[in-house]
Structure 1
Amino acid sequence: MSALKRTPLFEVYGEYGGKTIDFGGWDLPVQFSSIKEEHEAVRERAGLFDVSHMGEFTVIGPSAEQYLQTLVTNDVSKLKVGGAQYAAMCYADGGTVDDLIIYRKQETDFLIVVNASNIEKDFDWMESHLIEGVELKNISNEVSQLAIQGPLAEQVLQKLTTTNLSEITFFKFQDEVDLQGAKALVSRTGYTGEDGFEIYCKPEDAVSLWRKILEVGNEEGTLPCGLGARDTLRFEARLPLYGQELTKDITPIEAGIGFAVKVDKESDFFGKETLKQQKEKGLERKIVGLEMIDKGIPRTGYEVFVGDTQVGFVTSGTQSPTLKKNVGLALVNIDFAPLNTIVEVQVRKKRLKAQVVKTPFYKRG
């Protein structure tokens, strides 16, 4: 068995009480204090995450935009320098290769951030469709990523820089921001449903930045956070997780991220025909929110029934720390997707009642 991969921050997890698990081949912290405490810190104050396992590619050259337009579902031509864009990459049948963020650093210079578990698969896919006038590079090992998230995130991070962070608005970024000697790309993005920033820095700066942020954020009650809270936070905000809400068998539209699919853009892209049909003719199945009526937690993979017929399956589920309710996301047949539909979730040997509810489960005020 190959050894687990580690981020540059691995050495300091222990100092903060980090308990690590195998996460897609990475040795990463699931929690530092408790998932509930960390979740609440992000919802109410600020939390700091090590997300250095994420993948980063550069796409540079005169044909960079044209190339990306054929690969991703969103319209890259609308992306201005200093802007970020959420998109998906699809196979020809509309199934999802990955969801990702595109940063436009210059007219012909893009940074692509992909999910850790998909780095090699995504790079191979992008490389196999390379066109002339584009240089594609995997720079994942040259970049570390921290995320500070929560209503007080700006207040905390501002203590480390003279750059006015309030000028970096949602889905915008600034490169070469000086964070007390560490130069970083700072973007107002995140995966928690809260305000916050993602910080792309050199691996050798990651440890000192981590320490400094927690030190200056102590007054605000900033906590180091693990993957457990990251998952409950993104789930409440109904942000999809690749491998669960998005897979090679689930399209971005079925997953509920149709806003990032521009079927009317001029460029042809992989999956365009299928996705166009789904937008125009409607879906046969889609992801909906479930709230348990009976006592039990809907977990990933649990089957969903109406009568004796299986009508879908749970993609993610948990007890929501914010709502104090047992909720889930499930991919169901469209006939059972309307709000208030009563279904049953197979929890071990029992079928427990649940109701289709509105999502996201949480939206910041």
Structure 2
Amino acid sequence: MRAAGTTGRPRLIAPGLLSPEPGLETYWVRPGGVTGVRLRGGDELTVVDRQGRQRAELTVLAPDGSPDGAALGIVPDGPATTLRALAASADRDRITDPVLADVIAHEVDPAGLRAAILFGEWSPAGSSETVTARGPATVLVAAPSLTMRIDDPIANPASDLMLEVRRASPLAALEPRLPEPLADPVLDFRVDRATAASYEVKAGQYIQIIDVEGRQCSDFLAFHGHRLAEGVERGLDATATRYFMGQAYPQPGLYGRFYDQDMQPLVEVVRDTVGRHDTFGLACNRKYYEDLGYPGHVNCTDNFNARLAPYGIAPRAGWPALNLFYNTAFDAHNQLIFDEPWSRPGDYVLLRAGTDLVCASSACPDDIDPANAWITTDIHVRVYDAKRKFSMAIAHRVTPEQPATLTKDTAFAPRTKPLTRQFTEYRGYWLPTSFDGHGAIEEYWACRERAAVMDLSPLRKFEVLGPDAEALLQACVTRNIRRLSQGQVVYSAMCNETGGMIDDCTVFRLGDTNFRFIGGEEYSGTWLRQQAQRLGLDRVWVKHSTDQMHNIAVQGPASRDLLAELIWTPPTQPAFTDLTWFRFAIGRIGDHNGLPLLVSRTGYSGELGYELWCHPNDGPALWDALWEAGRPHGMLPLGLDALDILRIEAGLVFAGYDFSDQTDPFEAGIGFTVPLKTKEDDFIGREALLKRKTNPQRTLVGLELAGNEPAEHGDCVHIGRTQVGVVTSATRSPILRKNIALCRIAVEHSALGTEVEVGKLDGHQKRIPAQVVRFPFYDPDKERPRS
């Protein structure tokens, strides 16, 4: 990270790039994983327990592979449990850490390895230990992980560790660390800066294009191999691709293919760790540099022409290419603009060949503008065998400096995938949008009239534990947590200092010092930990538990009857049928021997309903039990498309649409979550919210549109020529048989019955008459979920 210097002018902050501090290296240890680093005499290793309560196991090996704790001045005091389990696993090909893989390859017996134990069951967040190497050594750092029990009152999900290595003698030319190969490569080669390379790929093989040092554009060309053999040139085509995919550039998922002029798919995007590219702008060419005053500048087009000539491909003055990592956009004035790439060291795009291909990749030589951040670097290419299988994924980072995590399946994917091919990437997970053989409208009516089951596992869960847990939540969320009883849930907003919403959430009280925070944003856990540190609350732990707890919702008027015979609760918990709105119980499926779960009377549909929370290992079994119990009630699975209709009818807000950190709870229509008069304690954003409530500018209202044309998110709302609001969410309501919308509007025009117009096209050339109406549109008094 480039940070502010201690003297002189402050410098740019660019998290995620190679550190400018000589000799500083950063590594991460995933929960349940092992990361290895090689040290030399004088090197310092710091292990950081970022979230707290995470044990670390350090195993030190001498260069010959023998245990050597003395090399770091530490004494092993326990077995290396994680290392032993991982090394003994049946599938050693899944070991991705290169140092660990090398240790195992040299036949080091893991069975007798021991480790020094750092941190403990109650180590504070941010705890760190630093050791100095007395000589050359290999250090293997593990983050042990145990299954989190749903009924554990002091659950402690495993969390990651961070390693910082400060070299005593920085390497003169540190080679950037490439990500480990995804499998054994068929081809593995470097494209040096300012050059290009051509290569052949067979149908079904995978092409991984890696940005070695970050901020480096790489143009990609692909030609149909069989057609080239026939003397016909068929390559990637912009018009055909955009026509079929409906996107500026395909992304992993349903719309991930690139086509040629004959409308034949050539390649498909399988993984993308950047999510920001340009497609089919011209690769840089001679004329571009000449027009800017740089005649003779090396360029991608000439490099491609030279590399493709042996295949009989005619040269061009400019090649339209898939411009990976190139950051372009059209602004509000339809001007094409570009800036530095978003990619960072090791980021990559993984493509799958749809047929035999002739490919070419460049490491763009543009050093006169932001296209490569003014510094050209290398690109690396790997090709993998078609027999390998790689998950479809997009990468996400909670904060810029943290490592990327790839899209995952939920615990219920083994049951939902056979029911549909319609999946979308949703906050780091693949979720069904609708189900084959049903569709959104049929799924919607099942929820309104009978029952429906939906996968909501991407909700982010955080265990907030310890003597200061209540104080932290009281300071961070708008509701009065001190009034929350054990077994009760409350819906709340969490705001920043200006009153803008960071997230909306539900908070479960499991005990005097135990809470579960359920929100939509991964960043919420980071925010809570930051506030704990700022407030000096050192006896609270915020542990990420999303991967230890997945959840489905059963919603609809038949949901209580459906679940009544299925869910057993012990005498210490409320009976399932006694659960009232926003209450929960810990129980099991069937009887006291069944799989453990937490059931809450909550939901996102506006109907009577429940959410069921279980460990991912139990996901398929829970789905099976529910599916069998729901059959007599006509229960159907429900996807995101139907859920969106349900939640808009019920007036339930959605992050990024109805609120953001520029929107306060009053503007988001959830002002009831801010008890300014009855919450005695101060909380973050309180002063700002007092001012905003006294002088409101905008509020959320319901709109009912005339005619059959729907509104869309972002449509402007007018009275005459003046824009007075914006549509935040909109749908066609099946039960009301009307087009409805949620609208953030100036308070002067928020009265019921106000006539407005929803602007289409440019907002003036086409208007849909609409009227401000009461919302929620459906069941405005919420009698159904209360029933």
TM-score (norm 1): 0.95
Moved more, 123-132 or 21-30: 21-30
Query: What residue is the counterpart of 1:356 in the other structure?
Result: 772
The corresponding residue for 1:22 is 425
Distance 1:293 1:325 in 2: 8
Instruction: State the partner residue of 2:751.
Output: 338
**Sequence identity, in percent?**
38
Report the Cα offset of residue 8 of structure 1.
1.7
Corresponding position of 1:66 = 471
1:18, distance to aligned residue in structure 2 (A) = 5.1
SS at match of 2:664: coil
**Aligned mate of 2:690, from 260, 268, 276:** 276
Q: Could you tell me how far 1:124 is from its partner in structure 2? A: 1.4
Q: Does 1:211 align with 2:624?
A: yes
Amino acid across the alignment from 2:588: V
In structure 1, the gaps of 5 or more residues are none
1:36 aligns with 2:441: yes
| Aligned mate of 2:583, from 137, 153, 172 | 172
Q: Structure 2 CA distance, aligned partners of 1:270 and 1:18? A: 43
**Equivalent runs, 1:87-236 vs 2, <5 Å:** 87-115=492-520, 118-119=521-522, 121-130=523-532, 131-163=537-569, 164-179=575-590, 181-236=594-649
- The whole-number CA distance in structure 2 between the counterparts of 1:150 and 1:218 is 14
**Stretch of structure 1 that moved more, 344-353 or 30-39:** 344-353
Deviations 1:95-148 (A, max 9, x none): 100000000000110011111xx11x1111111111221111001100010110
* 1:177 positional shift: 3.4
Q: Which runs of 5+ in 2 are unaligned?
A: 1-271, 274-392, 394-406, 570-574
1: CA distance between counterparts of 2:735 and 2:650? Answer: 11
Maintained 8 Å contact 2:600/2:611:
yes
Which residue of 2 is the match for residue 75 of structure 1? 480
Query: What is the alpha-carbon distance in structure 2 between the residues aligned to residue 251 and residue 55 of structure 1?
Result: 21
Larger deviation, residues 341-350 vs 353-362: 341-350
Q: Distance in 1 between matches of 2:501 and 2:776?
A: 21
The separation in 1 between residues aligned to 2:426 and 2:470, in whole angstroms, is 33
Q: Is the 8 A contact 2:657 2:728 kept in 1?
A: yes
Contact 1:297 1:347 in 2 (8 A): no
| 2:472 and 2:528 in contact (8 A); partners too | no
| Residue pair 2:415, 2:623 contacting (<8 A) in 1 also | no
SS at match of 1:217: helix
For the Cα contact (< 8 Å) 1:172–1:187, is it kept in 2?
yes
Q: Secondary structure at the match of 2:494?
A: strand
Q: CA separation of 1:57/1:26 partners in 2, compared to 1, >3 Å: closer, same or farther?
A: same
Distance 2:590 2:701 in 1: 41
Counterpart of 2:732? Answer: 319
Deviates more, 1:99-108 or 1:261-270: 261-270
SS class of match (1:262): coil
Q: Which has the larger radius of gyration?
A: 2
Residue 448 of structure 2 is aligned to residue 46 of structure 1: no
Q: Which runs of 4+ in 1 moved over 3 A?
A: 176-180
2:709 corresponds in structure 1 to 296
Q: CA RMSD in A?
A: 1.4
Q: How many residues align?
A: 361
Partners of 2:434 and 2:642 within 8 A in 1: yes
- The structural deviation recorded for 1:282 is 4.6
Alignment partner of 2:631: what SS? coil
Measure the CA separation in 2 of the matches of 1:171 and 1:129: 27
Query: Given the superposition, is the C-alpha separation of residues 225 and 108 from structure 1 closer, same or farther in structure 2, using an over 3 Å criterion?
Result: same
TM superposition shift of 1:247: 0.8
CA distance in 1, matches of 2:750, 2:509: 37
The 1:24/1:346 distance shift into structure 2, 3 A limit, reads: farther
Structure 1: how far apart are the matches of 2:725 and 2:685?
A: 23
Amino acid at match of 1:169: T
How far 1:286 moved relative to its partner?
A: 0.4
- CA distance in 2 between partners of 1:236 and 1:294 (Å): 18
User: Separation in 1 of the partners of 2:646 and 2:774?
Assistant: 17
Provide the C-alpha distance between the structure 2 equivalents of 1:295 and 1:136, rounded to a whole number of angstroms.
48
- Counterparts in 2 of 1:27 and 1:162: CA distance versus 1, 3 Å: closer
The DSSP-based 3-state class of the residue aligned with 2:632 is coil
Give the deviation of 1:256 after TM superposition.
1.6
Q: Contact 2:462/2:517 (CA < 8 Å) preserved in 1?
A: yes
Contact 1:42/1:149 (<8 A) preserved: yes
Residues in 1 aligned to 2:472 and 2:433: alpha-carbon distance in whole angstroms = 37
Deviation at 1:179, TM superposition (A): 4.5
Deviations 1:180-226 (A, max 9, x none): 61100111011111111111101011111112211111111011111
CA distance in 1, matches of 2:753, 2:669: 18
> Within 1, Cα distance between the matches of 2:590 and 2:673?
32
SS at match of 2:684: coil
**Partner letter of residue 464 of structure 2?**
V
Is the deviation greater in 171-180 or in 282-291? Answer: 171-180
Structure 2 residue identity aligned to 1:147:
A
| 1:278 Cα offset (Å) | 3.1
Q: Which has the higher contact order (CA 8 A, sep 6+)?
A: 1
